[in-house]
Amino acid sequence: MSRIVLSTMGSYGDVHPYLAVGLALKDRGRHVTIATSEHYRRKVEGEGLCFAPIRPDFVPITAPPEIVRRSFDPRGGANFVLKSLVLPFVGPMYADLLRICRGANLLVVHPTLFAGPLVAEKLGLRWVSVLLSPAVFVSAYDPPVFPPFPWFHHLRHLGPFPHKLMVRVMKLLTRPWTRSIAELRAREGLRPPGASAMHDDMFSPFGTLGWFSPLIAPRQPDWPQNTQITGFTFYDRRSPGEGLHPALAAFLDDGEPPVVFTLGSSAVGDAGDFYVESLGAVRRLRRRAVFLVRDQPAPTMAGGEPPGVFVTDYAPYSQLLPRAAAVVHQGGIGTVAQVMKAGVPMLVAPRGLDQPDNANRVRRLGIARVLSRSRYSAARAARELDRLLGDPRYARAAREAGAAIAGEDGVEAACDALERICDAAPPEHATRRELARTQSG
C-alpha cells in the first residue's frame, strides 16, 4: 500500500481541503498521513486518518488578536507572516517532515511549507505542490491584487510587462529573507536554491495542482508547465459528524432566507466592529440575519438583538449557505469556495493577504460586490447589500456559478492527479538536479 503525506498548516481554509482529499485517498486504499499543527490532531484522527505534528504549533484560530491584525494588515501583512511566522521555523519543520516522510511514496506540500521541497530532495521523494489560491501564482498575465499597492492592478490593461517587472523586483527584495533556507540546503548537501526560494522553488517538477475552480482563475501562460487545476476540494465539519444545530435549523425554517455574516476561521480573531456595524446594516434593511462569531462577543445594540437575528459560533457552510439570501465575508479562499458552491451572491469585505485578490475575482464574475474592511460601516454595508439583493443579475450569476462548481469534482480530480504522480515509473536518466530545472514560468 502506497503511503502519501499531506502537509499543510494555517486556518481551516488551509487544512480542510487536505482533509477532503485525504479522506478520499483513504477510501481508495491509500495510507494517508496529515502532517500539520498539533491543534488539528483531534480533527484528523477523528476522521480516521493518521496524524503527525509539525512545527510551529501555530494556528490563526488560537492566535492573539494582535498577531491576526498584523497578519492581515494590507501594507505589511505578507511580510510579517513570512518573516515572523513561517521562515524562522523552516529548520524545525524540515526535521519534523524528514522524520515523517521516511518510507513515504509521495509528499504533498502547502506553499508556505518551504521545508517540503528540501525534504523531498533529501529523500529522493516525489512531491507535489498545491496552491489553494490563484494569487500565489503571481501571474503577469492574470496579475493578482497586491494589498500594499492595489492601484498597480489597474495597469493590467498595459499587458504583462509591468507585472513581469514587479515580480522580478519582488524576487530581488525577498531573496535575503530566505538566507536560512540557503544555509539549510548547504548544511544538508542539497543543491543551491533557485532565483527565488519563496516562488520558483515552491513549484514541483513532478506537478503543481491548483485546488480551486477554473472559474476564478483559468490557466495562464506563465504558470508552471505541469500545472493542473482540479476544482475546489470541500470539507466543512468542525468536528467529525457535526451538522447544523437544531436551533439554527429551526430559525432557517421560520422565515425568509437570512443574510449570513462571517469572518471565516482566522480574520474573525480580529473582528473589530465588523459584527456591530453588520447588525446596524441588518436593522436598516429589516432583514433576517445569521452571525457566525466563533468566540467573539455577540453583537448587541440598545435593547438587545433585534428579532430575526441568530448568533452562533459555528455552522457547516454546506448546510447553511445554500439557505442564505446573501453572504457577507472576509474573502478567504475557503469561504469564497463555499459561497460559490452555495450559488448565492456575496458582499466581500477584504483586508489583506489573498483576500483582496479573491474579492476582485468574484466581483469580475458578477456574483459579488466589494467593500473593503477599512471602509466597512453600517450605512455602507446596508447600501451595498441593498444593491446586491435588489439586482437580480447577481443572484442569476451566482446560481450559474454554483451550477458550474457542482459540475466539478475537485476531490476526484485531485486524487486522480496525485495517484498518477505517485504510481508513475521514475523518468529515465533524470537526476534530482535535472528534475528541479524542469519547470517553466
Can you read off the three cell numbers belonging to residue 70? 498584523
Residue 378: per-residue pLDDT: 97
Q: What is the pLDDT of residue 432?
A: 46
- CA dist 204 and 202 (Å) reads 6
Establish how many alpha carbons lie within 13 A of residue 403's alpha carbon, considering only the half-sphere containing its beta carbon. Answer: 6
**Whole-angstrom distance, CA of residue 329 vs CA of residue 335:** 7
What CA–CA distance (Å, rounded) separates 55 from 149? 32
Strands (E), 246-402: 259-262, 289-292, 309-312, 326-329, 346-348, 368-370
**Residue 117 and residue 122: Cα distance in Å, rounded?**
9
DSSP 349-386: ---STTHHHHHHHHHHTTSEEE--GGG--HHHHHHHHH
CATH number attached to the domain at 3-232+408-435: 3.40.50.2000
| Edge-to-edge strand ranges of the sheet holding 3-7 | 50-53, 31-36, 3-7, 106-109, 127-131, 208-210, 227-229
pLDDT in tens, 203-218: 999 999 999 999 999 9
Print burial letters for 337-369: b (CB count within 10 Å at least 16), e (below 16): bbbbbbbbbbbbbbbbbbbbbbbbbbeebbbbb
Burial of 27 (0-12, 13-18, 19+ CB in 10 A): exposed
- 14's CB contacts (< 8 A; 6+ apart) are 8, 110, 132, 334
pLDDT one-digit tens code per residue, 381-398? 999 999 999 999 999 999
Cβ–Cβ < 8 Å for 295, 283: no
Model pTM?
Answer: 0.92
CA distance 352 to 330: 9
Query: What pLDDT score was predicted for residue 147?
Result: 87
CATH topology of domain 246-406: Rossmann fold (3.40.50)
Domain ranges of the chain: 3-232+408-435, 246-406
Residues of the chain with pLDDT under 70: 296-306, 426-441
Fold match flag (3-232+408-435 vs 246-406) = yes
| Peptide bond between residue 56 and the one before it cis (omega within 30 degrees of 0) | yes
Q: Quickly tell me which residue has 468566540 as its cell.
A: 295
Q: CB within 8 A of 154, min separation 6: which ones?
A: none
**Consecutive H or E run containing 33:** strand 31-36
pLDDT of residue 209: 98
User: In 10 A of CB 311, how many CB atoms?
Assistant: 19
pLDDT of residue 426: 66
CB of 144 closer than 8 Å to CB of 152? no
Q: Measured at the alpha carbon of residue 69, what is the angle toward residues 75 and 234, in degrees to the nearest 5?
A: 95
